[in-house]
A and B are shown apart, each in its own frame.
Chain A
Amino acid sequence: MRTVNLREKLLTGVFWLAALAIAAILMVIIGYVVLKGISSVNFEFLFSPPARAGKEGGISTTIISTLYLVLGSLVLAVPIGVASAVYLEEYAHKNSRFAYLVNLTAETLAGIPSIVFGLFGFVFFVIFLGWGWSILSGAMTMAIMILPTITRTSQEAILAVPREYRENSLALGAGKWQTIRKIVLPSALPGIATGIILSIGRAVGETAALLLTAGSSLGMPASVTDPARTMAVHLYILAMEGISMERAFGTAFVIILFIVIINYAAHYGMKRLFPLKK
């Protein structure tokens, strides 16, 4: 009996150690970026444009470009993503080949690396459609990248709506679409919102695909056909070309701040969707 006890204790130790290691890794990465970055971030850094290729000045244009690209991709991806989820969960038959194909492509799209999306966006939007390196090309590319996330989370949220709601609504004489619009979608909203928030996170951090589709121009974009450099691309160029480590840290800090806020918001959305779980 003693030996068994000892082994069990040892194993418990290993488990806790693993968990501790994970926590430590996260703490070190975030802690390091925050500690090193927070001193570079001030009002001027956030609200003035970069100067001398980023060696001096702030990151205002990259923040604005990031917002444009995030907004642009959401405007494109959210309606299509949610509509597809509604179709898959509420309309498609269980044995529909079309629905199977859509699910399969959604899964495949979710697994494709961003650099491949970048290649596609480059050859299709930038070259073939002639949109050049631009916010439009970048937003279109990113919209395709975040579509699977939005559809998946929306599907789950729609699936979680109690069937009694639908039955009651139909029994009151509501049509199918009325039921979806007035009962199902509002009930699924927190879950759909979570998916959108997660997509924002992905878009804020995206680098490889945007480098190839939106370009890396540091100017303030004046229209959707202008090229743009997001914060993430800016960080990459600052660090890789050794332009300014201080500003790279500042940019990384701002990105991390965004991500932490977004994660918190997504978590909160989930809690509202499944208040009874756990």
Chain B
Amino acid sequence: MPDYTIVESVKNKFNIVCAWQEKYKDNIPKSNSELWIERVLILSAGIFILAILLITLFIFAKGIPLIAKTGISEFLFNTEWNPLKGKFGIGSMFIGSLAVTFGALLWAVPLGLITAVFMAEVAPVKTRDILGSFIELLAGIPSVVYGFFGLIVVVPFIRENFGGSGMSILAGVFILGIMILPTIINISRDSILAVPKEYKENSLALGATHYQTIRRVIIPAARSGIVTAVVLGMGRAIGETMAVVMVTGNAAIVPDSILSPVRTMTSNIVLEMGYAAGDHQAALFGTGTVLFIFIVVLNLVVDIFAKAGISNENR
């Protein structure tokens, strides 16, 4: 084999990591204008950090005093939401968010995973490509359109076939599930595709069937990616607003069945922001604060899983 560059051969022989992406960043003598350009670029990148700081600061500043005044557990778990009486407990909405989110995961995760495996391992190239563009489109449809479809089609369907008003957890679960399918499919498919070919070849060479190999070798190897997919899907579901607000009826009550209407934390904000003032408005920011913390924690979990995945591969 010819030495591609010295870098490659050094890397292979002595295991020194110096890929091109890491190099050519240093030591290049810089003129004055080059230095200025670099400063402008750094400043641009800094806007990300500034944005997240401002978002955290302003939402917390509006939300946390009210939460503190109400008491954290009172705010989170009390189910009485009555702004007129100054009662700000988001317990029912907390339950509402969790109910629609886990309901959506319940059916979207299995369907999404099967589809991901299908695309990565089973489908003919043409089918895979067509399905891929379908999923891209599914991801591109705005949530308000999903909500509209839910309102016009899913809600009446539930009302006629299962009773109640149709505006229900079930409607939310159905629409949200569709909306998180692309996230689950894309990420788990990529992680399945990233499983080294040798695993599969070795398993097949041992006499395992393709499906045994998928179940016992490929899926376990792609585990961390699949978990990431589920967690990100969960984040998307918890944060979703428009679709949910249009189909779940939005009653701030603790639901007693899947046909019962429910209000999520996101719905609470979008429904009342238009006219809220004073403590009421602050309570909506408090709801946003809870949501924000939830999402950031989920992201951290994903980060940890992604890192675990990398160290697994290095093992």
Contact = CB atoms under 8 A, between A and B. Distances in A.
A and B touch in the complex (CB under 8 A): yes
B44 A84 contact: yes
A112 B58 CA distance: 15
Contacts of A32: 149, 152-153
A209 to B, nearest CB: 9
A192 B37 CA distance: 20
A204 interface: yes
A214 interface: no
Contacts of B148: 33, 235-236, 239, 248, 252
Contacts of B40: 83
A212 B142 contact: no
B135 interface: yes
A80 B41 CA distance: 8
B237 to A, nearest CB: 10
A85 B291 CA distance: 29
Contacts of A101: 49
22 contacts: A15-B122, A21-B111, A80-B44, A83-B45, A84-B41, A84-B44, A84-B45, A91-B38, A93-B25, A111-B295, A111-B298, A112-B292, A113-B238, A114-B241, A115-B266, A120-B55, A207-B143, A211-B274, A236-B148, A239-B246, A252-B148, A278-B125
A219 interface: no
Interface residues of B, number: 90
A258 to B, nearest CB: 9
B138 interface: yes
Per DSSP, chain B at the interface is: helix
A240 B239 contact: no
Interface stretch (A42-50, A56-64, A169-177): A169-177
A201 B140 CA distance: 7
Contacts of A105: 48-49, 51-52
Given A120-B58, A175-B34, A207-B144, A102 B48 contact: yes
B201 interface: no
Contacts of B152: 32, 36, 239, 245
A14 interface: yes
A211 B270 contact: yes
Given A84-B47, A201-B140, A119 B285 contact: yes
Interface string B5-45: 00000000000000011101110101101100110111011
Interface residues of A, number: 95
Nearest to A209: B241
Contacts of B292: 112, 116
B123 A123 contact: no
A39 to B, nearest CB: 15
A122 interface: yes
Interface of A: 4, 7-8, 11-12, 14-16, 18-19, 21-23, 25-26, 29-30, 32-33, 36, 79-80, 83-84, 86-94, 98-99, 101-102, 104-109, 111-120, 122-124, 128, 144, 147-148, 151, 159, 163, 166, 170, 175-177, 198, 201, 204-208, 211-212, 232-233, 235-236, 239-240, 245, 248, 252, 255-256, 259-260, 262-263, 266-267, 278
A233 B142 CA distance: 11
B144 A232 contact: yes
Interface stretch (B64-72, B81-89, B113-121): B113-121
B211 A11 contact: yes
B77 interface: no
Contact of B136 (A11, A92, A147, A267): A267
B230 to A, nearest CB: 14
B41 A236 contact: no
Contacts of A170: 24, 28
Most chain B CB atoms below 10 A, which of A19, A89, A92, A114: A19
Contacts of B274: 211
Contacts of B149: 29, 32-33
Nearest to B22: A94
B269 A175 contact: no
B54 A124 contact: yes
A255 B137 CA distance: 13
B30 A115 contact: no
Contacts of A212: 270, 273
A53 to B, nearest CB: 15
A118 B26 CA distance: 41
B52 to A, nearest CB: 4
B25 A116 contact: no
Most chain B CB atoms below 10 A, which of A8, A240, A256: A240
Contact of A22 (B131, B232, B273): B131
Contact of A259 (B38, B118, B129, B140): B140
Contacts of A248: 148
